[in-house]
Amino acid sequence: MAKKKKRPRHPASERPQAPRGGPNLERRDRKEEARRLREAERRRARRAASLRRTLTSAGIAVAAVAAITLFRTFQGPNDIPEAAVLAASEAGCTVPEHRPDRTPAQRHLTPGETITYPDPPATSGTHDGSQPPDDPKVFDAPFEETVAVHGLEHGAVFVYYLPEADGGLPQAVVDRLADIATRSNATFLAPYPTLTPERALTLTAWNYRQSCPVSADEIALTPAAAATIVNGFAAGFECTGEAPENGISPC
């Protein structure tokens, strides 16, 4: 019998190698890809949840501000800050006087019609159909009182002063109050030459008035004290529901 030829043997290093990994490597790749997709989805979900929380918080904040504004619009006067009450007392001022029965009419004057307000400066009553401008808020000459009353009806505060030349407030006080009015929402400043030294600073809102003298017990009204008093009055009455048409310009 013929002998079978032996097949040549190759060293292990020269033997053909099967593809590494095979089906197992493909499964691992698919699992890794699925893991990456799940992680990306979780990141997107976290970002979306964070955005929803942020928007919800912002919405709540906006709603709260709107609610406070709306509440302030319909409520009556706010409490005057204690510092303003103390400053007014030390300066010899009157307390804010409620004047609901003096001139309560809200009617507009007809063309050519005039009115003389009893016990001015007026806090309410028949008034001009025009209203104070949003700007300026500081006037060097007397302001038309019938227009000012229309502003009070809308929630404005008018601060009147007796000029220094007439025995009234020092210019330093007037300058300080002018800065307050300029920065305010709806507070106006104007001279009122018929005031007396005992009422040299007179603050008006719809149905309310407060007056301060040039000095009390020989102590002159200072710019700081006047500013505290005016800021307190504005905090109590500017743009509140005491004004029958609050919310209209300038409020």
pLDDT digits (tens, 9 = 90+) for 187-210: 999 999 999 999 999 999 999 999
Q: What is the pLDDT of residue 43?
A: 78
Question: Does residue 135 register a pLDDT over 60?
Answer: yes
Integer Cα distance of 203 and 189 in angstroms: 9
pLDDT the model gives residue 9: 57
Mean of the pLDDT values across residues 136-148? 97
Residue 203 β-bridge partners: 159, 210
Q: In the chain, what are the domain boundaries?
A: 33-74, 78-237
Q: Which residue has the higher pLDDT, 54 or 17?
A: 54
- For 241, counting Cβ atoms within 10 Å of its Cβ (0-12 exposed, 13-18 middle, 19+ buried), the class is middle
Cα–Cα distance measured from residue 214 to residue 220, given in angstroms and rounded to the nearest whole number: 6
Q: Look up residue 213 and give its two tokens.
A: 């003298």
36 — pLDDT class (breaks 50, 70, 90): confident
Q: What is the dihedral sign for C-alpha 37, 42, 47, 49?
A: positive
- Alpha-carbon distance of 46 to 230, in angstroms, equals 51
Q: 152: which residues sit within 8 A by CB, 6+ positions away?
A: 123, 124, 158, 204, 205, 206, 243
pTM of the predicted model over 0.75: no
**Residue with token string 């005031």:** 195
- What's the first-to-final CA gap in the chain, in angstroms? 122
Angle at the Cα of 20 from the Cα atoms of 16 and 21, rounded to 5 degrees: 150
Scanning the structure block, which residue is given the tokens 């300066």? 91
Bridge pairing between strands 187-191 and 208-212: unpaired
Are 169 and 226 contacting, i.e. CB atoms less than 8 angstroms apart? yes
What residues form DSSP beta bridges with 97? 209
Give the pLDDT score at 245.
93
Q: What is the average pLDDT score of the chain?
A: 84
Helices (H) and strands (E) in the chain, counts: 5, 7
pLDDT score recorded for residue 66:
42
